[in-house]
């Protein structure tokens, strides 16, 4: 630490302290560079106390992280319906389901998607082998059995590993016509935000004609 510019030269400081009746233990460049200097080793006037010069610690600079951007709000049902089905009103359920599958393929990069009922009967299919769709029946029954032990649980998803590269993920969606299985072949599990949006679009797909 560099000597303080507020202190006089060592010889001058020694004369001043001697005149005050105080004898310094150490005065010199070494003591000025130390963190503190203690002056004693001599009789002190009545009511006096040793002199201690303390170095102030350096101020700490704490940088705060930049504020996080708030998450983007989820679109309303009307905005989501326009995004998936377009602005044309009066589409039938089959046309809406076809658009749902096209939206799934475009938004996830998959080449295979389908929608089936709980018995494994396909409502619409895009390049999915039939055995995968039939598997919806056993998967739905297993999901219902699990729900007995976990009451009030959301519909959830089911994942079946197909090979070392792909898996079948089924998003269960409660709709006005009952629970449906929306299946898609993916390389890794869907994100929770994707699952939520798929569930919403599936429900919008089977609303009455002209409702949106």
Place of tokens 């998003």: 171
d(Cα 107, Cα 184) in Å, to the nearest integer?
11
**Residue 20 has what pLDDT?**
61
User: pLDDT in tens for each of the 212 residues of the chain?
Assistant: 555 555 566 676 667 666 666 555 554 444 444 444 444 445 555 555 554 444 555 555 555 666 666 566 777 878 888 888 886 567 788 999 999 999 999 999 898 999 999 999 999 999 999 999 999 999 999 988 888 888 777 788 999 999 888 999 999 999 989 999 999 999 999 999 999 999 999 999 987 555 44
Longest dimension (CA), the chain: 106
Which domains does the chain show, CATH number per domain? 10-54 (no CATH), 77-205 (3.30.450.30)
For residue 174, list its beta bridge partners.
Answer: 179
Strands lying side by side in the sheet with 122-126:
122-126, 113-116, 178-186, 167-175, 157-161
d(Cα 76, Cα 58) in Å, to the nearest integer?
54
Residues whose CB falls within 8 Å of the CB of residue 100, separated by 6 or more in sequence, listed in order: 84, 115, 124, 182, 201, 202, 205
Q: What is the DSSP string of 38-95?
A: EE-SS---TT---EEEEPPPPPP--PPPPPPPPPPPPPPHHHHHHHHH-S-----HHH
pLDDT digits (tens, 9 = 90+) for 54-75: 455 555 555 566 666 656 677 7
Q: Look at the pTM and tell me if it is higher than 0.75.
A: no
Which tokens is 58 given? 């350096």
pLDDT digits (tens, 9 = 90+) for 160-186: 999 888 999 999 999 989 999 999 999
DSSP state of 111: S
């Amino acid at each position: 630490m560099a000597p303080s510019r507020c202190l006089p030269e060592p010889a001058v400081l020694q004369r001043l302290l001697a005149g005050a009746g105080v004898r310094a233990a150490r005065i010199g460049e070494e003591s000025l560079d130390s963190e503190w200097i203690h002056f004693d080793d001599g009789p002190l006037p009545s009511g006096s106390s040793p002199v201690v010069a303390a170095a102030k610690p350096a101020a700490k600079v704490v940088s705060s992280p930049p504020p996080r951007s708030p998450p983007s709000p989820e679109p309303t049902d009307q905005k989501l319906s326009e995004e998936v089905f377009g602005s044309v009103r009066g589409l039938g359920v089959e046309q809406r389901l076809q658009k749902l599958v096209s939206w799934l393929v475009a938004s996830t990069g998959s080449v295979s998607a389908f929608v089936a009922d709980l018995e494994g009967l396909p409502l619409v299919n895009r390049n999915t082998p039939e055995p995968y769709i039939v598997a919806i029946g056993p998967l739905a029954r297993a999901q219902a059995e699990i729900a007995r032990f976990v009451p009030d649980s959301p519909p959830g998803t089911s994942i079946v590993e197909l090979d070392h590269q792909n898996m079948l993920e089924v998003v269960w969606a409660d709709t006005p016509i009952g629970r449906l299985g929306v299946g898609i072949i993916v390389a890794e599990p869907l994100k929770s935000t994707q699952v939520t949006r798929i569930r919403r679009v599936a429900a919008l797909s089977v609303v009455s004609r002209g409702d949106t």
